[in-house]
Each structure stands twice: as C-alpha cells, then as structure tokens.
Amino acid sequence: MAVKPRALIVTADDFGLHPRVNEAVERAHRDGVLRAASLMTGAPAAADAVARARALPGLRVGLHLVLADGAALAPRAAIAALLDEHGRFGDDMVRAGVRFFFLPWVRRQLAREIRAQFDAFARTGLTLDHVNTHKHFHLHPTVLGLILDIGREYGMRAMRLPFEAGAPWWLKPWIARVRARLDRAGIAHNDYVVGIAASGRMDEAAWLAALADLPDGVGEIYCHPALAGERALSDGMRAYRHADELQALLSPRVAAAIRASGARLGGFGDVLAG
C-alpha cells in the first residue's frame, strides 16, 4: 500500500461565538498558520465572523453545527422538543442522543435545525469548506445520517473525522463505522485529529510535540483561539487557555516545525481536493 503524503489542516472552532474569537481567527490567519475556521451560524458574533471571512479570501470556512450546549437557529416553536427551559440546547448529550435515536418527532425537529444551520451558512455566500459539530455530536449515527442527507443538498464535500491517537479502545470500532459511512457517501475526511485530549490547551508546547511525531496522511489540528478577556466565553470553557492557543498559531517555532514536517498546509478543500 502506498504511503499517503503528509497534509495538515489547521482549524479554529467556534468562529462567531464572540468578537474575541473572531479577532483571534483573523490574526492567526493573517500572521500565523491558521488556514480554516468553523462557523457557528447562530452564535452572537456570527455576522462579524462572516464579514471578516469575506475580507480573508484565503481562509477556508466550514459549518460548525451546534446541536448541544448552545443556541438554536430554527424558530423555537418548530424545535421545542430539542430545547431546555431557556430555549437552548442542553448539555446532556446522552439523553439527547437516546431521544434522537428512538423518537421520530424529535428526529424531525433535529432535521429542521440542521437544515436551518445549513441554510444560514448558504446565505453567507461563503464556500462551504467542511462540516463538523460542536462536541463532535456527529459521532451519533442519527446525527451523522441527517447531516449526510441534508448536507448533500448544500454541496457538503468534507467532514471532520474526530479520531485522535490514544483514543480509548472502545471508541475505535465506532470511529471505523463513521469513517465507512463517510467513504460510502463520498465525503472526504481527514485521517486523524490532534486537539481532543488537549482541548483548550493547544499551546506552543502541545503543537511542537504533535508536529515532532506527525503521522503520514491528512491530519487536522484544531483549536479554540481567542483574545484574553475578563470572562470565560462559556461555562464549559472556564479552563480554556484561549490566548495561549492564539500565541501558538502565531508562533514562529510552530511555523518552522510545520515546514520541517514537509506537510502540505491548507483547508479541507485544499488538501483533499480530488
């Protein structure tokens, strides 16, 4: 079997969550190694993110579908079964996943929300580079199936495969199923990711360690850069070191290590074309 050439996709998630995130994405792309960003179409600063992306033609932008622990986009009355008392997606993904799988009316509402987020991305006029989900919810078979069905209508060509070296043994057969479904659907994907175990802590040291042992094939290193601020961007991000992640993306040592690796750098559409 031929050895795959190395390629590296560098992505910032949560684009649109806050102006501090958007500013960091712009800086990291203009002056650092960032090549892609995943847009939360229903987030408070989504319009600002889109405006910045339009001014950055080299930034590859994908859809970061939010189906847990975040704001919904479809009218509340149309997806009431998905929302908590505050009108948001809750963070109990196990309960949500069971309902998605077993309850047809909940699945129909889930499909409405997924379509609403794809619609919102299409209205930006940006090219859809990739699709992924907040907290990797597309590992759920029902969620993945709906994304594949709906995404095809919107020109979806690539998705994140959230497989990281050192993943627990029980997750590997599940990842293999996701990989097989993507392949059958003709959806391009990375071979591995870096950033799950160190989520919120992808500082320069973490980057250099990953780049020193970069496998062959197409990898994605994803992170959550943002400018420093007085408050956490969300309750789940209280321990995230956003500013350290931004500095890693701007680091000359990281840029030099990527060059030394020989990996082709780009977004999903750049490195997975054809």
What domains can you pick out in the chain, each with its CATH number?
A: 7-63+129-145+157-271 (3.20.20.370)
Local structure of residue 11 (DSSP, 8 states): E
159: three-class secondary structure by DSSP: strand
Using the 8-state DSSP alphabet, how is residue 83 labeled? B
- CA angle, 153 as apex, 148 and 157 as ends, to 5°? 60
Joined together, the tokens standing for residue 144 give 């993945």
Q: Across the chain, what does the average pLDDT equal?
A: 96
Count of residues making up the chain:
274
* Tens of pLDDT, residues 158-172: 999 999 998 999 999
- Say how far apart CA 257 and CA 262 lie, in whole Å: 9
pLDDT tens column, 41-52: 999 999 999 999
Between CA 79 and CA 163 the distance in angstroms is: 30
pLDDT-derived band of residue 3, with 50, 70 and 90 as boundaries? low
Res. 230 pLDDT band, cuts 50 70 90: confident
**Distance, CA of 273 to CA of 220 (rounded, Å):** 15
pLDDT category at 273 given cuts 50, 70, 90 is: confident
State pLDDT tens for residues 62-103. 999 999 999 999 999 999 999 998 889 999 999 999 999 999
Amino acid identity of residue 224, one-letter, is: H
